[in-house]
Amino acid sequence: MIAPHLPILQVVIPLLAAPICVLLHSGRLAWLLTVAVSWVSFAVSVLLLGQVMDGGPLSYELGGWAPPWGIEYRIDALNALVLFIVSGISAIVLPFARASVEREIESERVYLFYTAYLLCLTGLLGITATGDAFNVFVFLEISSLSSYALISLGRDRRALMAAYQYLILGTIGATFILIGIGLAYMVTGTLNMADLAERLPAVSGNRTVQVSLAFLTVGICLKLALFPLHLWLPNAYAYAPSVVSAFLAATATKVSAYLLLRFLFTIFGVEFSFEAMQLGVILSTLAVLAMFVGSLVAIFQEDVKRMLAYSSIAQIGYIVLGISLVSVDGLTAGIVHLFNHAIIKGGMFLALGCIFFRIGSVQLHDMRGLGRRMPYTMAAFVVGGLGLIGVPLTAGFISKWYLVVAALEAGVWPLAVLVLASSLLAVIYVWRVVEVAYFQPVPDDKAAAKDKATLGEAPLSMLLPAWVLIGASIYFGLDTSFSVGVARAAASSLLGLDLAEIGS
């Protein structure tokens, strides 16, 4: 009886839990509820993914109003995978959250933290699940507003400034998206994605439609933090509480990447987006710039959280580069990297959260000799770093492999060279951390001597989630049948091909 309602339950369960958190008015109970809800969401997303892979896209109409008039939730391979990523990361991050949040957030605000967290989760899941363009904007605002609040809860006072900066830029992005949706609605008179996709090709010569695509692309790229629209991201990730950095870094930009795919491929269509409007050239240029600028700036960061944030900008470059190739292999590479990067970056931010929990800092010079004091945490960080570089046997290798293959197949070998060259830059910034943590002596100043008691590993409730994600990044580097299989199915459905035709 419950099975046909799964698409809506995915979104409504966290939405219902958010006000209950306010009513509970207790940090501990709110955490318990949030964990329970997250795991239920994860279970729902697993069931949805199973249904979609077996039986094709699902459609759910809200309020008994048939699409295209009513709001429709539509789940296909692509958004089932993104739902799986978002709810999965949330389910793993939350056990970590209890100790970390107690340390970093004032106790009377903890229940509000979890309320905002649940709303953010609702928003991200909603953007992904819905098949209605205006509904996308509504959920985008829910997730954005709550993430501004989450970021501003960081202990550093600069978190307020970072949240404000993100608020301004995020609002501009959301406004652009709304203008884009409005213009498309003006021409076609519909907001349903499938209906838009049917009507837009007939009016593709219309200037309004072209402007609509331009607004949407810029708006989504702002939320995606694609170079040069990335300015909000480093501060937001660096000053947010550890849990928030891990959750947002692993999910928020991934959902934006999903939106880019959905609007460019499903709604406007490949012909219009990439042939008439030549977006491929623009996107691949910006992606290559992001890969190099992000990695280069990351090398010079003293704050390791900021370093990972800049590395995220570079990794978004790889995702967009895969998308801009407009082939099954390119899209597969982009989607696989979306999945792998969520796992790797989530795991690394969690490891950093453990470090912050113990030494109260994530500055590079405070991490001297940490390899001996927190061996398991640092090992997790280093294995994650290997994934970012793309060393074989890690998930990062798989994405880069597919990306290089796709570039070669498209006949643009310079892109393949650039991907490899930029990976070398990742070696440098990961190595800087390794050098400081393993090859420099433990500082024996008074501060270190004073808190001798705190100089161990982080509690298991924090270390374990970090290792689950890092372990997953190795697992998906060895067994790619799940990640690449779903990504290939999603890629071929985006290009409108039958999976059987191209083989797998």
Partner 1 sequence: MRHHIVLRVVAKLLIPLILLFALYVQFHGDYGPGGGFQAGVIFAAAFILYAIIFGLESARLVVPPTIIRAGVALGVLLYAGVGVASLLLGGTFLDYSVLAHDPLHGQHYGILLVELGVGITVASVMIAIFFTFAGRSR
Instruction: Please give the residue ranges that form the binding site for partner 1 (CB under 8 A).
Output: 5, 8, 12, 15-16, 18-20, 22-23, 25, 60-64
Strand ranges inside 260-361, DSSP E:
none
The answer to whether 348 touches 381, Cβ cutoff 8 Å, is yes
**CB nearer to partner 1: pick between 22 and 202:** 22
Residue type, 404: V
Count of C-beta atoms within a 10 Å radius of residue 64: 6
Least distance between partner 1 and beta carbon 85 (Å): 24
Least distance between partner 1 and beta carbon 53 (Å): 23
The answer to whether 336 touches 484, Cβ cutoff 8 Å, is yes
**CB nearer to partner 1: pick between 12 and 448:** 12
**CB nearer to partner 1: pick between 72 and 366:** 72
Q: State both tokens at 13.
A: 């369960």
Least distance between partner 1 and beta carbon 9 (Å): 8
The answer to whether 27 touches 107, Cβ cutoff 8 Å, is yes
Q: Find the farthest-apart pair of alpha carbons in the chain and give their distance in angstroms, rounded.
A: 73
**CB nearer to partner 1: pick between 2 and 453:** 2
Give pairs for 37-40: CB < 8 Å, separation 24+.
37/13, 37/118, 38/14, 38/87, 38/90, 38/91, 38/94, 38/121, 39/91, 40/13
Return the closest-CA partner of residue 286 out of 235, 335, 229, 231.
229
**CB nearer to partner 1: pick between 15 and 470:** 15
**CB nearer to partner 1: pick between 70 and 456:** 70
**CB nearer to partner 1: pick between 10 and 377:** 10
**CB nearer to partner 1: pick between 61 and 409:** 61
Determine the number of helices (DSSP H) and then strands (DSSP E) in the chain.
22, 2
**CB nearer to partner 1: pick between 22 and 497:** 22
Least distance between partner 1 and beta carbon 159 (Å): 19
Q: State both tokens at 22.
A: 């306010």
First to last CA, the chain: 34
Least distance between partner 1 and beta carbon 222 (Å): 27
Alpha-carbon span 52 to 38, nearest angstrom: 21
Residue in the block written with tokens 């083989």: 503
> Helices 6-24 and 110-129 sit at what angle, rounded to 10 degrees?
170
Alpha-carbon span 126 to 3, nearest angstrom: 18
**CB nearer to partner 1: pick between 64 and 503:** 64
Please, what's the b/e burial string for 82-110 (b: 16 or more CB within 10 A of its CB; e: otherwise)? Answer: bbbbbbbbbbbbbbbbbbbbebbbeeeeb
- Looking at the DSSP assignment, which residues form a beta bridge with residue 192? 132
Residue in the block written with tokens 């912050």: 356
The answer to whether 315 touches 388, Cβ cutoff 8 Å, is yes
Least distance between partner 1 and beta carbon 6 (Å): 11
Least distance between partner 1 and beta carbon 114 (Å): 13
**Please, how many CA atoms are within 13 Å of residue 481, restricted to the half-sphere of its CB?**
1
Least distance between partner 1 and beta carbon 426 (Å): 43
Please report the sign of the dihedral spanned by the C-alpha atoms of residue 211, residue 217, residue 222, residue 223.
positive
Cβ neighbors of 155 (< 8 A, separation 6 or more) are: 104, 105, 241
Least distance between partner 1 and beta carbon 70 (Å): 9
**CB nearer to partner 1: pick between 8 and 53:** 8
Least distance between partner 1 and beta carbon 440 (Å): 46
**CB nearer to partner 1: pick between 60 and 96:** 60
The answer to whether 371 touches 438, Cβ cutoff 8 Å, is yes
Least distance between partner 1 and beta carbon 125 (Å): 14
Least distance between partner 1 and beta carbon 22 (Å): 4
